[in-house]
């Protein structure tokens, strides 16, 4: 049976470490790193995510400013808010929760966030720096996946990593981070041919497609490591990932559960990015 990778425990360790680092930062600088979260509209899942992000932020000793706007907010109003947050010296990280209402173009908003405060790592400057292998703010979920792999001392170099899903939030940045760690990376998507066979060649599988139990246990190579990014609710209310967990865990050497695997890492890495952004902001000021 596979080792179960305990994301909750790893995330708690990251958060405990961060809390200590934030204490030191506050002593040295006389203020706390600050995160602004922006929620537009009433999406129930987004409300929960944003609430958890703010709670975690305060738990780590950082300042969190929550801005909640109505569903009817215009693109211009949101752009003006982003501009004010960009200029606010107490705010080091800005997170605009996605999805946004349809009258607002997400690209326009994400591109307006200062790259130095882009704790989601979604701005083209940060994405470009990730491609080039330069230091940058990194997308939180794939960054969390890298931490999970580190937690089991997984040696990524030379491994065949197969990523199922090519989203800008997870699949693409995960591919770039694994490539930077010297994996041989394949990105699969809805048009990929012979997907089961491609996955069968993987030493490391990252499933991020948002379809319940889409990756079958029989596709997993004996001894592979499986990272399941999916969080899907079945009609009976049960939460499952993108991987058929029970079957996959008979073949994998290590696997993340759902819930309690990748999920808790995303918020931990958001806090990490906020502290990094606060530190880098100071470095720029003192240069
Ligand atoms: N919606 C779903 N995941 C995310 C995320 O990581 N960041 C933001 N801003 N919105 C999201």
For residue range 145-188, what is the model confidence (pLDDT) as tens digits? 999 999 999 999 999 999 999 999 999 999 999 999 999 999 99
pLDDT < 50 positions in the chain: none
User: In ligand 1, which atom is closest to the CA atom of 99?
Assistant: 1
Query: Ligand 1 centroid to 97 CA: how many Å?
Result: 5
Residue 108, pLDDT score:
98
Short-list 166, 158, 169, 165, CA closest to 123 = 169
Nearest residue CA, atom 2 of ligand 1?
A: 98
Query: Ligand 1 centroid to 111 CA: how many Å?
Result: 15
Residue 76, pLDDT score:
98
Structure tokens at 253: 């050497």
Could you give the residue ranges of the DSSP H alpha helices within 105-139? 106-112, 124-132
Residues counted in the chain? 287
Query: Does the annotation mark 193 as catalytic?
Result: no
Structure tokens at 145: 């996946």
Query: Does the annotation mark 53 as catalytic?
Result: yes
Whether 158 contacts 184, CB under 8 Å = yes
Query: Ligand 1 centroid to 254 CA: how many Å?
Result: 26
Active-site pick, 6, 118, 120, 242: 120
Q: What is the pTM of this model?
A: 0.96
Query: Ligand 1 centroid to 87 CA: how many Å?
Result: 22
> How far is 105 from 206, CA to CA, in rounded Å?
29
Short-list 271, 281, 280, CA closest to 54 = 271
List all residues whose CB is within 6 A of at least one atom of ligand 1.
Answer: 95-98, 120, 140, 169
Query: Does the annotation mark 242 as catalytic?
Result: no
User: In ligand 1, which atom is closest to the CA atom of 96?
Assistant: 9
User: In ligand 1, which atom is closest to the CA atom of 141?
Assistant: 6
Give the full edge-to-edge strand order of the sheet including 63-69.
Answer: 63-69, 34-40, 93-96
Query: Ligand 1 centroid to 126 CA: how many Å?
Result: 16
Could you give the residue ranges of the DSSP H alpha helices within the chain? 7-29, 44-59, 75-87, 106-112, 124-132, 140-151, 171-180, 195-200, 245-251, 263-286
Q: How far apart are the first and last CA of the chain?
A: 52
User: In ligand 1, which atom is closest to the CA atom of 120?
Assistant: 7
């Amino acid at each position: 049976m596979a080792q179960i990778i305990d994301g909750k425990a790893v995330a708690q360790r990251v958060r405990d470490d961060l809390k200590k680092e934030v204490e030191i930062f506050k002593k040295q600088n006389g203020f706390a790193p600050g995160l602004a979260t922006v929620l537009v509209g009433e999406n129930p899942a987004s409300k929960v995510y944003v609430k958890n992000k703010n709670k975690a932020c305060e738990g780590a000793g950082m300042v969190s400013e929550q801005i909640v706007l109505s569903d009817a907010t215009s693109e211009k109003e949101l752009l003006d808010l982003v501009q004010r947050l960009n200029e606010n010296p107490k705010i080091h990280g800005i997170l605009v929760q996605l999805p946004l209402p349809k009258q607002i173009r997400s690209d326009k908003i994400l591109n307006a966030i200062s790259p130095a405060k882009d704790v989601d790592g979604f701005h083209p400057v940060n994405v470009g720096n990730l491609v080039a292998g330069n230091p940058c703010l990194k997308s939180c979920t794939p960054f969390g996946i890298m931490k999970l792999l580190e937690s089991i001392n997984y040696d990524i170099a030379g491994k065949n990593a197969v990523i199922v899903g090519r989203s800008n939030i997870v699949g693409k940045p995960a591919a770039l981070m694994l490539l930077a760690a010297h994996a041989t990376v394949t990105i699969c998507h809805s048009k990929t041919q012979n997907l089961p066979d491609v996955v069968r060649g993987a030493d490391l599988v990252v499933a991020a497609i948002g379809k319940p139990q889409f990756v079958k246990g029989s596709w997993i190579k004996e001894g592979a490591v499986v990272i399941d990014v999916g969080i899907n609710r079945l009609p009976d209310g049960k939460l499952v990932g993108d991987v058929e967990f029970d079957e996959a865990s008979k073949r994998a050497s290590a696997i993340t559960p759902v819930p309690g695997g990748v999920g808790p890492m995303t918020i931990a890495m958001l806090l990490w990015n906020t502290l990094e952004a606060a530190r880098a902001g100071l470095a720029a000021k003192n240069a």
